[in-house]
Amino acid sequence: MIRLSTYIHFTKEQREQARLVDLASFLENQGEKIKKSGSEYEWLDGSQKVTIRGNLWYHQYEQKGGDAVDFVRRFYNKDYAEAVVMLLNNCGGQIITSPPVERERKPFKLPPRNEKMNRLFAYLLLTRRIDKDVLYEFVRRKMIYESADFHNAVFVGYDLSGKPRHAHKRGTVTSNPYKGSVAGSQPEFSFHFNGTSEKIFLFEAPIDMLSFISMHKEDWKSHSYAASCSVSDRVLFQCLKDNPNLKDVFLCFDNDEAGQTANKRIAEKLNSMNIKNEILIPKNKDWNEDLTLADKGDEFQCRQGLSL
């Protein structure tokens, strides 16, 4: 059994051995509950899902991952030396390793466009109550369209050169609430709109972003908006990098545990960078619920209040 001391010299082989420890076996030996899901395992970090595959892990909400050493440092609050020792001591000295798993990056390709967009308009205008002028502006910019294969609503994110880098799909049939991003999508370029003011509003989903704009239409195109299609901050920091005019960040994630945990996490990061920020919370579960439940003609006010 390896004992922790003030200074530990690890050989190259020991470091590699610790990095390659099979995380499913490690967690089981720690008394943790894991769930088999296809070729992977799922483990819960509180209420948030972490995917485990061999020696690799991926936090679905934070959109961060790494190897076995990174896992122990992140979730067991260990420094590097402590993490390596814990992994090498796994199973009382019996090391269970897995071969390195390479994440294959699939080429990104937009779903084929449907000639007509009847289902998309019916879904977003009638079911989701998105303002027609707002929706038509995004359609005109080729940021929203209906796919030809499954008639999904497709929300496209572009880089600064105008090249599509991300696409999020949402089912247009109420009984089938499918949603997911196209393979090969780059999260830092998820669905977003660049304005000219100093304000940017960050949302979980494209429909929440469109709902918020629908409720605050006045001069909306002067501001910037982004939908992470998760609770990640990657698109936010890409927008801040690409648009030096942005100074004020409004965090607008869902009114639930995952959304508010993400709001606070990102706010802390922004505070550490001296970037002005404010958290806006929908009255209901999300901004689309606020839009669809608001009485027609009533002026909407979010819980925190807002002056655009």
pLDDT digits (tens, 9 = 90+) for 235-255: 999 999 999 999 999 999 999
**Structural domains of the chain in order of their starting residue, each with its CATH number:** 12-93 (3.90.580.10), 118-293 (3.40.1360.10)
CB–CB of 209/218 below 8 Å? no
**What is the band of 217 on the pLDDT scale with cuts at 50, 70, 90?**
very high
How high is the pLDDT of residue 85? 86
Amino acid 105: pLDDT:
57
Mean pLDDT to the nearest integer, 53-76: 86
pLDDT at 230: 81
For the cut 80, the answer to whether the pLDDT of residue 145 exceeds it is yes
What is the average per-residue pLDDT within 154-180? 90
Q: What is the pLDDT of residues 15-63, one digit of tens each?
A: 898 999 999 888 887 778 888 877 788 888 766 788 899 899 988 777 7
Kindly indicate the confidence band of residue 90, based on its pLDDT and cuts at 50, 70 and 90: low
The most confident of 43-52, 68-77, 283-292, by mean pLDDT: 283-292
Position 118 pLDDT exceeds 80: yes
pLDDT at 14: 87
Q: Confidence class of residue 300 from pLDDT cuts 50, 70 and 90?
A: very low
Please give the mean pLDDT across all residues of the chain: 85
Looking at residue 37, its pLDDT comes to 78
Taking 60 as the threshold, does the pLDDT of residue 191 lie above it?
yes
The band of 298, judged by pLDDT with boundaries at 50, 70 and 90, is very low
pTM tops 0.85:
no
pLDDT > 50? residue 95? no
Q: What is the pLDDT of residue 43?
A: 87
Give the pLDDT score at 36. 86
CA dist., res. 110 & res. 228, Å (int): 18
